[in-house]
Structure 1
Amino acid sequence: MGSLILTLKCYKPLASIKFSPFINSFHTLQLRPPKPNNRRVFRCFSTLNSSPNVIDDKSNGKTDGDDKPASASTQLWLYNTMSRKRELVKPKVEGKVGMYVCGVTPYDLSHIGHARVYVTFDVLYRYLRHLGYEVCYVRNFTDVDDKVRCIVAKMYILFERAVGFGVIEIIARANELGEDPISLSRRYCEEFHQDMVDLHCLPPSVEPRVSDHMPHIIDMITQILDNGFAYRVDGDVYFSVDKFPEYGQLSGRKLEDNRAGERVAVDSRKKNPADFALWKSAKEGEPFWESPWGPGRPGWHIECSAMSAAYLGHSFDIHGGGMDLVFPHHENEIAQSCAACNNSHISYWIHNGFVTIDSEKMSKSLGNFFTIRQVMELYHPLALRLFLIGTHYRSPINYSVVQLESASERIFYIYQTLHDCEKALSLLDAAALKDSIPPDTVTSINKFHNDFLASMPDDLHTTVVLAALSDPLKTINDLLHTRKGKKQAMRLESLAALEKTIRNVLTVLGLMSTGYSEATRLIIKYFMLQVLLQLREKALKRADLTEDQVLQRIEDRTVARKNKEYEKSDAIRKDLAAVGIALMDSPVGTTWRPALPLALQEQAVATS
């Protein structure tokens, strides 16, 4: 491959750097123009001295992660798309993990396909932190879009399906709204942030934006050219796939499969139809940046290579995204990153499955998508999150009202159980609780804990953990509401231990706010009550009823029962159940809770 001139800098530790999820650092870079080169000399793309690198290797050069075996309690196995098998995660730097996840192109509200990606990697981020790793999680914004050539909006679907990711996107959307493209993208970045907050996704360590990292991108392209892997054509710069024999290693595709007419734009100037753009010359009416090749903007793929290298270096642990990014995006990232520095290496490529509707991928280009906001109009964000993690992250998940209704009912049950438990415990001084708990409670907690320990390290099997919640939740309800449970010895001690165990697991799954894990019981109870009230409000909205209307129907039913008009009382109960309002009778009166509507219950039974 020729000689290698290594110019990669030593990095400063991430711990000394304060990252804001909303403010992105911008670092100046002295650009070097392309130099004539008669022989192939490699030099590594180097991040800046001032660039924050996340992983500080203080292990005397040990970077293979094998110097100290992980204990069973900290082991994590993930499916690596590159090797096509589950692998034990061994960070390059002991105790620290660098993770880069491809972010959104902010030109409109995000859909639930996006939600699945970022909920998936939020669970991974949370679990890595739970295992004790110091994680630098980098998630970018592609606020400069490379495939924005078509300005005719009515041709959107045709061209996006032919050319690939986001043909019109930011620029066309900005033209449509009469708004500056950068201003529009920044506005939708904030909308995305709000969606992530609602979904309980923790902010990444840093969120670089393409528009703030143009010098890094230009420098990387320059080095790819200098290393002989790219060529210039009329102000454009293309990567030559023929110069990179390993092209296709991630996706398993062969070069002959990558011909024009599928996802590769037809351009007779290319040496190979599969060659892809590193730099696109400026078009009229589009934003541009100056470069050694003239004004223009970067290609889509180079952006992530440059930003991941700027924050994590050329060699880091985890690179993730949706399954649709395996080819061409991640395949091209590998090629250009290795072309810029042949020491480039990502240990684990992690991809989540699609969200489908009627077995077809959900996407804006097909017009069969729902935005996160549309779903949250009718369903609580926690119900959406539970729905998304209720299927293993690598499997496709079929969007359906039945699934969302079931998730909504389940999250209400979880929070109602914990709220009732907190209510009982809040009446007692914590200091009065004994240190021991009954053997039956110990067995229940240990079983749940063992299910968690067996499932999460095994490629994040959240589905098993969610199913395992049933037993401890049932035990809590038995202790709270059954005659036998109320008489059990050390009942409150059991409730406290069970509730804390469940709450800790829910925090790892992102189904409970992190800040409440160590909060006072009064604050926790208030938070849980707010979630329950919000779930009830959403249920009323779906039923097209108000709280007063439901209470009036409950009163009518009570009167009918007193008058022994049982047919009428049953009809009222059935009418409410049909729209997802379940009535619960008790010695102190009748209350209601959200439930799966009757028709959907029948549909769920038929499906199962």
Structure 2
Amino acid sequence: MNLKIYNTQTRTKETFTPLEPQQVKMYCCGVTVYDYCHLGHARSYIFWDVVRRYLEWIGYTVKYVQNFTDIDDKILNRAKKENSSMEAVSERFIEAYFEDLRRLNIRDADAYPRATDNISEIYQLIQQLEKKGYAYASKGDVFYNVEKFPEYGKLSGRKQDQLQAGASGRVSGAEGEKKHSSDFALWKAAKPGEPAWKSPWGEGRPGWHIECSAMVRRLLGATIDIHGGGGDLIFPHHENEIAQSEAANCEPLARFWMHNGFVTVSGEKMSKSLGNFTTIRQLLETVDPMVIRLFVLGASYRKPLDFTNDAIASAENGWNTLKEGLLFKSQYGEKLGGWDDHEKPPALHSEAVERFQTAMDDDFNTPGGLAVLFELAKELRKEGNVLTHEGKTETPLKQIQQTWWTLVQLASVLGLEVDAEETSTDTTPGLSDQEIEDLVQQRLAARKAKNYAEGDQIRDRLKEAGITLIDRPGGETVWHR
């Protein structure tokens, strides 16, 4: 295997080798659960889902952990605004997260730790940092002393003299209470009316960055293979994770740091203030989930992804091509004859698999992988056209089966799968086979009586129902959905 991954920390593509043979430990920063997930979340979690699927496909066992931040100022502000509680807001949007992401065919992670369930682990980590001299208490807060960690900035490339006051993200506490402006909060003293936990430093709650360091260590160990997240997390969140974890554990936090690019809307940053903010559930009201997956995977994960009507229309066309190929067996299996559902699946098309893997091994090049899928789907479309117009094909059945099975398997690596209801013509909405046959005979009778207007009306009705008619020499008419 020659999988190469772009490592944000080294800014180069490196050959992937896990810490333990055939075992991959992977952590992805999850959402802060104060609102519905948006298109940027879809882009991120679709991609991490594909990373996991591909690693498993090439033979690795993957332990994938994704957290929920369920204590945060944004959650508390929403709870206050709604006269609700932190717990109620968190639960509501965690449930919404699963509803939205599962519709996109994103598989559940192996674990979804929550910050509030890991308070004791957070205490232990902060105390360890305090004993080693990396952390200090100040009026109920605890801060990380950035100057004590010489490698601070190695992920983002920022130097100490470039760090500005307030640059450390979600930090509370007066500037005078910190030794240096770039120090960040590990523990925040309780504010009146806010949830708080007892601690050696007084009642309070954890800082944002320490949560992930504690959860990674508890569930995956001191060092993991892949740490992923959006590009906006490189600094300060991931930089601070490194400082915390590596100071405490004296080991690298992650061998590979991966970050996906931003989503823009018609070239502009997506934001509520600009009125171009799109949640996943709003998008799914009008767009097929597989179209969204195809739209996301049609670009390199590290590049910006621009959401436009044209881009979605292109993805819809692409999905129609792939779906037609994926449904080939249910559409044409009976016409081919000898396609036994209980028969052992054929071997995959080795040349197509090799090209697919070559693309994906190059830093998860999903556009290159999709190109192979489209070639397979178009081969099947050609066979379908031959079967429709000529009633038979000269291509051996085994070859057609191999092409179809290869498409199905490779598409599943990218999470592109047809809804189960679409795989059987028995459940296809609209006209039944017998109703179609009756209308075809009515049309033939109308044409025989030279009532061409009625014949055209029947053809149009069938066309609206997704039925194509083909008139053959000798007065025969065949149809297909």
Q: Into which bin does the TM-score normalised by the smaller protein fall?
A: 0.7 to 0.9
Q: Which residue of 1 aligns with 2:135?
A: 230
Could you say which residue in structure 1 is the equivalent of 2:105? 200
Confirm or deny: 8 A CA contact 2:325 2:404 kept in the other structure.
Answer: no
Instruction: Note the C-alpha offset of 1:495.
Output: 2.1
Aligned to 1:106: 33
- Cα gap change, 1:454 to 1:432, in 2 (>3 Å): closer
1:375 to 272, 283, 297: 283
Q: Deviation per CA, 1:238-280: give whole Å up to 9, x if none.
A: 1011111111000001122221255656723211111100000
Consecutive unaligned residues in structure 2, runs of 5 or more? 431-442, 472-476
Alpha-carbon offset, residue 471 of structure 1: 2.3
Match 1:285 to one of 160, 182, 193: 193
Distance 1:220 1:130, change over 3 A: same
What residue is the counterpart of 1:174 in the other structure? 79
1:583 Cα shift?
A: 9.3
Match of 1:480 in 2: 384
Match of 2:372 among 461, 468, 473: 468
Mapped to 2, the partners of 1:448 and 1:263 lie a distance apart of: 47
Whether the 8 Å CA contact 2:373–2:411 is kept in 1: the answer is no
How far residue 436 of structure 1 moved from its aligned partner, in angstroms, is: 12
Is 1:408 matched up with 2:316? yes
Structure 1 residue aligned with 2:161: 256
1:91 aligns with 2:18: yes
Deviation at 1:494, TM superposition (A): 2.3
Deviation, structure 1 residue 468: 2.1
* TM-score (structure 1 length as normaliser): 0.68
**For structure 1, which runs of at least 5 residues remain unmatched after alignment?**
1-73, 149-168, 514-523, 537-554, 593-608
- Say if 1:82 and 1:250, in contact at 8 Å, map to a contact too: yes
> Would the alpha carbon gap of residues 589 and 391 (structure 1) be closer, same or farther in structure 2, given more than 3 Å must change?
same
Task: Report the counterpart of residue 247 of structure 1 in structure 2.
Answer: 152
In structure 1, the residue matched to 2:5 is 78
Matched, 1:449 2:353: yes
- Residue 151 of structure 1 corresponds to none
Moved more, 483-492 or 191-200: 483-492
Aligned to 2:267: 359
Distance 1:488 1:525, change over 3 A: farther
Counterpart-to-counterpart distance in 1, 2:53 and 2:341: 33
Corresponding residue for residue 267 of structure 1: 175
Asked if structure 2 preserves the Cα contact closer than 8 Å seen for 1:419 and 1:525, the reply is: no
Query: Root-mean-square deviation (CA), in Å?
Result: 3.4
Deviation at residue 102 of structure 1 after TM alignment: 0.3
1:138 maps to 65
Q: How does 1:500-579 map to 2 (within 5 A)?
A: 500-512=405-417, 526-528=421-423, 562-563=452-453
Question: What is the count of residue pairs matched by the alignment?
Answer: 452
Please state how far the C-alpha of 1:403 moved relative to its aligned partner: 1.2
| Paired letter, 2:80 | N
Is the 1:436–1:493 contact (alpha carbons within 8 Å) kept by the matching residues of 2? no
Q: Determine if contact 1:141/1:207 at 8 Å carries over to the other structure.
A: yes
The answer on whether the counterparts of 1:236 and 1:277 sit within 8 Å (CA) in structure 2 is yes
Change (3 A) 1:533 1:237: farther
Residue 45 of structure 2: aligned partner:
118
The answer to whether the 8 A contact 2:65-2:111 is kept is yes
Aligned amino acid, residue 106 of structure 2: C
Partner Cα distance (1:363, 1:232) in 2: 37
Counterparts in 2 of 1:453 and 1:286: CA distance versus 1, 3 Å: same
Residue 585 of structure 1, CA deviation: 5.8
For residues 215 and 77 of structure 2, the distance between their equivalents in structure 1, rounded to whole angstroms, comes to 25
The Cα of 1:343 is off from its aligned counterpart by 2.1
- 2:245 matches 1:350: no
**Contact 2:321–2:374 (CA under 8 A) maintained in structure 1:** no
Q: How much identity, in percent, do the aligned residues show? A: 39
Residue 545 of structure 1: aligned partner: none
1:128 equivalent to 2:55? Answer: yes
Is the Cα–Cα contact under 8 Å of residues 78 and 88 in structure 1 kept in the other structure? yes
1:404 to partner: Cα distance? 1.3
Deviations 1:133-163 (A, max 9, x none): 1111000000111xx2xxxxxxxxxxxxxxx
Q: Which moved more, 1:76-85 or 1:446-455?
A: 446-455
**Cα distance 1:256–1:590, how it changes in 2: closer, same or farther (>3 A)?**
farther
**Residue pair 1:480, 1:486 contacting (<8 A) in 2 also:** no
For each residue in 1:183-228, what CA deviation from the matched residue of structure 2 results, as whole angstroms up to 9, or x when unmatched? 2101211110111211111111111011111100111011111110
8 Å Cα contact 1:434-1:493 kept in structure 2: no
| Alpha carbons of structure 1 residues 511 and 381: separation in structure 2 relative to 1, 3 Å | same
How far 1:452 sits from its partner (Å)? 0.3
Correspondence for 1:188? 93
Question: What is the one-letter code of the residue matched to 1:139?
Answer: Q
One-letter amino acid of the structure 2 residue matched with residue 229 of structure 1: Y
* 1:473 CA displacement: 1.6
Q: Per the alignment, do residues 358 and 226 of structure 1 end up closer, same or farther by CA in structure 2, a change over 3 Å counting?
A: same
User: How far apart, CA to CA, are the structure 1 residues paired with 2:183 and 2:392?
Assistant: 74
Paired letter, 2:361: P
Give the distance between the partners of 2:217 and 2:279, measured in 1 at CA: 31
* Distance in 2 of aligned mates of 1:589 and 1:401: 36
CA drift at 1:533: 6.6
- Tell me the alpha carbon deviations over residues 495-517 of structure 1, each in whole angstroms, 9 at most, x when there is no partner: 2111100000011000127xxxx
TM-score (norm: length of structure 2): 0.85
Equivalences for 1:31-42 in 2 at 5 Å? Answer: none
- How far is the alpha carbon of 1:582 from its aligned partner? 9.5
Going from structure 1 to structure 2, the CA distance change for 1:366 and 1:350 (only over 3 Å counts) comes to farther
Residue identity in the other structure for 2:231: M
